């Protein structure tokens, strides 16, 4: 029987694992939406180790989901620099062969519990608006759309969503 464990990632020893999970997980989305390094260089499918290190150095905290000993997913939280009660959830990723087994929900639950423990009252995300299935998944979880924005340098529209966290 598999047991899912979520642990805080160790920046010194888990960097390669995080990099692989993020790239492999987001690559399926990049392929679906025809994203490339050229037309969407900031998409997580193309993240470099250096960008990941920079993210950690700037205060983003990563968590790894392990199914027994295998790394199967990750999620990150980042405090809002303008509002200490708000956080951003980033890089929620589950490797393709482990999807649809509630790992994403468990990672999201975990991230929100950490945010709550840090006195956070809300969390925001940004997704590809055209990713209808993912948008519905977040809406079903309780996130609400706050803004749809078109960035000229991106080949898709960005949907910003938010969820309030009960005190």
Instruction: Yes or no: say if 66 and 72 are a contact pair by the CB < 8 Å rule.
Output: yes
pTM: 0.93
> Tokens 């993020």 identify what position?
22
CATH class label, 4-120: alpha beta
Give, for all 167 residues of the chain, the pLDDT tens digit. Answer: 568 999 999 988 999 999 999 999 999 999 999 999 999 999 999 999 999 999 999 999 999 999 988 999 999 999 999 988 999 999 999 999 999 889 999 999 999 999 999 999 999 999 999 999 999 999 999 999 999 999 999 999 999 999 999 75
Q: What are the residues whose beta carbons fall under 8 Å from the beta carbon of 8, sequence distance 6 or more?
A: 61, 62, 63, 64
pLDDT score recorded for residue 88: 97
Phi/psi for 75 (5° steps) reads -155, 155
Query: And the tokens for 13?
Result: 């020893």
Query: Per-domain residue ranges for the chain?
Result: 4-120
* Cα 57 to Cα 36: distance, rounded to the nearest angstrom: 26
- List the alpha helices (DSSP H) in the chain: 15-32, 49-57, 103-117, 132-141
């Amino acid at each position: 029987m598999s047991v899912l464990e979520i642990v805080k990632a160790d920046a010194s020893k888990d960097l390669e694992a995080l990099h692989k999970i993020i790239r492999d997980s987001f690559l399926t989305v990049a392929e679906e939406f025809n994203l490339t390094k050229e037309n969407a260089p900031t998409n997580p499918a193309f993240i470099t180790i250096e960008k990941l290190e920079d993210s950690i150095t700037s205060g983003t905290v990563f968590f790894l989901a392990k199914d027994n000993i295998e790394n199967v997913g990750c999620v990150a939280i980042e405090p809002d620099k303008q509002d200490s009660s708000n956080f951003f959830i980033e890089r929620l990723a589950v490797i393709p062969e482990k999807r649809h087994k509630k790992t994403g929900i468990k990672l999201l639950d975990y991230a929100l519990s950490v945010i709550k423990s840090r006195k956070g009252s809300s969390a925001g995300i940004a997704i590809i608006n055209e990713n209808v299935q993912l948008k519905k998944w977040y809406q079903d979880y309780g996130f609400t759309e706050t803004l749809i924005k078109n960035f000229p340098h991106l080949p898709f529209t960005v949907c910003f969503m938010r969820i309030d966290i009960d005190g």
